[in-house]
Amino acid sequence: MRKVSIDGDGYVDEAHIVDLVQVGLMSTKNVIARGETGTGKTYLFHWLCGRASEQPSPNQAPPDYAVELWEPYELNVPQLSKFSCHEEQGYVDIVAQDILADGETKAKKQILLQWLEPTVDDKTPKLLLVDEANFLSPSVAGFFHSLCDWQAGIWVPELNEFVRRSPLHWLALCINPFEKAIYQGTKQMNSALAGRFLTIDIGYMSKSSEIKFLKARFPNADKQLIDRLCEFAGNTRVAYRQDLLNVPATPRNLVQWFDIMEKGKFSLTDIEPVVLGVWSPDQQKAVKGLLEGQEIGKVFKSVGVDQ
């Protein structure tokens, strides 16, 4: 078992997800990370590929556990390519597009073909991260189908070539099945494609880890305020799962709030419009109650919703 590293910068890995994802990618080549918004799905892959650039720490040496992570498998950090899905995406956005260059028509390789180009050597994998894959359009899902079945490649008419995928071309999809925006392609992906992937469920870090994570990230912040806001975030997640709120407070929100409090020397009262701004106006009264530390049952009764 690997130690949980909570230094405010690394990936907090209580459930040994990194091992599962890493071994999953090595064995099946296709992994789905599935979890609620802000559980760190995207960040996990950025971090795995040495690209956790959302939280740059230029003067810091790589943390020990990152070295420890890769050594047992003698792997280099995968090269990362990434795109976010939307429902209108199709062949020309993802695979290839005809362009006019010097009076001639040429095929411009899009992200999928760029990823399918050979790896730099015979041991460094290339990871294609398909983010927000709940919004994968049926036509793009079709390309992945052919990449993940026995064909292991796609036919590209512009190149007059069947472009093959090697065992070092790894594919990862991030999915939030709890996303409440309506999406018609989910069912299709579930039945036809999801079976070819290893699906790994990712949850929020525990309250105690979230507290430690924030304390490490914001060492000058008021410790009681960290406890209080983590408790609040946990309650919004419970209310979200019960359909009482339209979104939960995520670790991303918590980081943003402490960041602006620190940078602007603001109190929680000063930033209340930012905190409440996460929710729609009709939900803010209830959220304010939770922020003040009231119980979920009481809060939603007081705004006219029985649990």
> Considering beta carbons, is residue 154 or 230 the nearer one to ligand ATP?
230
Which does residue 54 bind out of ligand ATP, Mg ion, none, counting CB within 5 to 8 angstroms by kind? ligand ATP
Q: How many residues line the site for Mg ion (CB under 5 A)?
A: 1
Structure tokens at 298: 């009481």
Q: Is residue 42 near Mg ion by the rule CB under 5 A?
A: yes
Which does residue 185 bind out of ligand ATP, Mg ion, none, counting CB within 5 to 8 angstroms by kind? none
Q: How many residues line the site for ligand ATP (CB under 6 A)?
A: 17
Q: By CB under 6 A, what part of segment 150-209 binds ligand ATP?
A: 174, 176, 205
Q: Is residue 12 near ligand ATP by the rule CB under 6 A?
A: yes
Which does residue 255 bind out of Mg ion, ligand ATP, none, counting CB within 5 to 8 angstroms by kind? ligand ATP
Q: Is residue 11 near ligand ATP by the rule CB under 6 A?
A: yes
> Considering beta carbons, is residue 37 or 188 the nearer one to ligand ATP?
37
Taking CB under 6 A as the criterion, the residue among 41, 82, 126, 169 binding ligand ATP is 41
> Considering beta carbons, is residue 144 or 258 the nearer one to ligand ATP?
258
Q: Is residue 255 near ligand ATP by the rule CB under 6 A?
A: yes
Binding span for Mg ion by CB under 5 A among 42-50, 56-64, 67-75, 164-172: 42-50
Q: Which of 307, 271, 276 is nearest to 290 (CA)?
A: 276
The total of other beta-carbon atoms located within 10 Å of residue 39's CB is 23
Q: β-strand 126-131 against 153-156: which pairing, if any?
A: unpaired
Distance CA 26, CA 70 (A): 12
CB 17 to ligand ATP: min, Å: 8
Q: Are 16 and 4 in contact (CB under 8 A)?
A: no
Q: Is residue 38 near ligand ATP by the rule CB under 6 A?
A: yes
Question: What is the 8-class DSSP label of residue 192?
Answer: I
> Considering beta carbons, is residue 5 or 42 the nearer one to Mg ion?
42
Q: Tokens 């949850």 belong to which residue?
A: 203
Which does residue 125 bind out of Mg ion, ligand ATP, none, counting CB within 5 to 8 angstroms by kind? none
Q: Which whole-number Å values give the CA distances from 52 to 46, 47, 49, 267, in the listed order?
A: 5, 5, 8, 29
Q: Which whole-number Å values give the CA distances from 20 to 1, 55, 72, 126, 197, in the listed order?
A: 12, 23, 14, 18, 13
CB 131 to Mg ion: min, Å: 5
Q: Tokens 């040429």 belong to which residue?
A: 106
* Strand extents, DSSP E, the chain: 30-34, 79-84, 96-101, 104-109, 126-131, 153-156, 161-164, 169-175, 198-201
Q: DSSP 3-state assignment of 174?
A: strand
Interface residue list for ligand ATP (CB under 6 A): 11-12, 35, 37-43, 54, 174, 176, 205, 251-252, 255
